[in-house]
Chains A and B, each alone.
Chain A
Amino acid sequence: AQSVSQHNHHVILSEAASLELGCNYSYGGTVNLFWYVQYPGQHLQLLLKYFSGDPLVKGIKGFEAEFIKSKFSFNLRKPSVQWSDTAEYFCAGKVGSQGNLIFGKGTKLSVKP
């Protein structure tokens, strides 16, 4: 079955630490992958997306993700987190022909000041 999985449920970091959140997908064909972020009390917003081309994708707020086809992975990274990065992060992949996305279960990131 098509799925997107996120390895970590809750990650706690101190400010300035580096971040890597794992995401794996399990479907074939054309791969369109997304990372969304939900700050406390706010709506989901897009961080970055991969459709094709350069597997290293840069997004907003200093985030980046690398698509590694051989590992079916699309991990999110940030070299130095800030307290304001505290949020829940969702990885998603497009499936089907009508633009449906499958979402992972989310990773909560808590950054200690």
Chain B
Amino acid sequence: DVKVTQSSRYLVKRTGEKVFLECVQDMDHENMFWYRQDPGLGLRLIYFSYDVKMKEKGDIPEGYSVSREKKERFSLILESASTNQTSMYLCASSSERPGRRVYEQYFGPGTRLTVT
């Protein structure tokens, strides 16, 4: 089974702090994604990566950056956390290789971040 793990389930940070959210997948997937999930807004894509050291902006990249130094790990960074970044953050991974359940995204359990 594919496993996507996230470093924390719950996190409380203060305004202005730098925040790191880590995500690791164990299925050798090329693609990794970061979403935020807010009530009534569904999932919104922040950033994604289709290869090591590659990154692409999603729909709401402002205030976030990402890092992918190794294939299995994708980090989301909040450079200076603000209260409007209080949310549930979901990491996902997928593959496009034939025979690998193409495009099916596997999700981690999420990190509920509260910025006070």
Asked whether, in the complex, the Cβ of B45 is within 8 Å of the Cβ of A46, the reply is no
List of 10 A-B pairs having minimum Cβ-Cβ separation, nearest first: A105-B42, A103-B43, A44-B107, A98-B50, A43-B109, A99-B103, A43-B107, A103-B42, A106-B42, A99-B31
Q: Considering residues B40, B58, B104, B108, which has the most beta carbons from chain A within 10 angstroms of its beta carbon?
A: B104
Report chain B residues within 8 Å CB of A106: 42-43
Residue pairs across A and B with CB atoms within 8 Å: the count is: 51
Given A34-B104, A98-B56, verify A105-B41 contact (CB < 8 Å). yes
Residue of A nearest to B30 (CB): A99
Q: Which residues on B sit within 8 Å (CB–CB) of A100?
A: 33, 45, 48, 58
Given A98-B31, A105-B40, A43-B45 contact (CB < 8 Å):
no
A41 to chain B: closest residue by CB: B109
**Residues of chain A within 8 A of B104, CB atoms compared:** 34, 46, 49
Question: Which of chain B's residues 80-108 have a Cβ closer than 8 Å to chain A?
Answer: 90, 92, 94, 96, 102-105, 107-108
Residues of B bordering A, CB below 8 Å: 4, 31, 33, 35, 40-45, 48, 50, 56, 58, 90, 92, 94, 96, 102-105, 107-110
* A51 to B104 alpha-carbon distance, docked (Å): 11
Residues on the A chain within 8 Å of B107, using CB: 36, 43-45
> Which bucket holds chain A's interface residue count?
20 to 34
Complex interface bits, A73-105 against B, C-beta within 8 A gives 1, otherwise 0: 000000000000000001000100011110111
- A residues less than 8 Å from B33 (CB atoms): 100
Q: Which residues of A pack against B, CB within 8 Å? A: 9, 32, 34, 36, 42-46, 49, 51, 90, 94, 98-101, 103-106
The answer to whether A99 and B110 have CB atoms under 8 Å apart is no
Q: Which residues of A contact B40 (CB under 8 A)?
A: 9, 105
| Given A99-B50, A99-B105, A106-B42, 20 extra CB contacts under 8 A | A34-B104, A42-B109, A43-B4, A43-B90, A44-B92, A45-B107, A46-B104, A46-B105, A98-B31, A98-B50, A99-B31, A99-B94, A100-B33, A100-B48, A101-B103, A101-B105, A103-B35, A103-B43, A103-B44, A106-B43
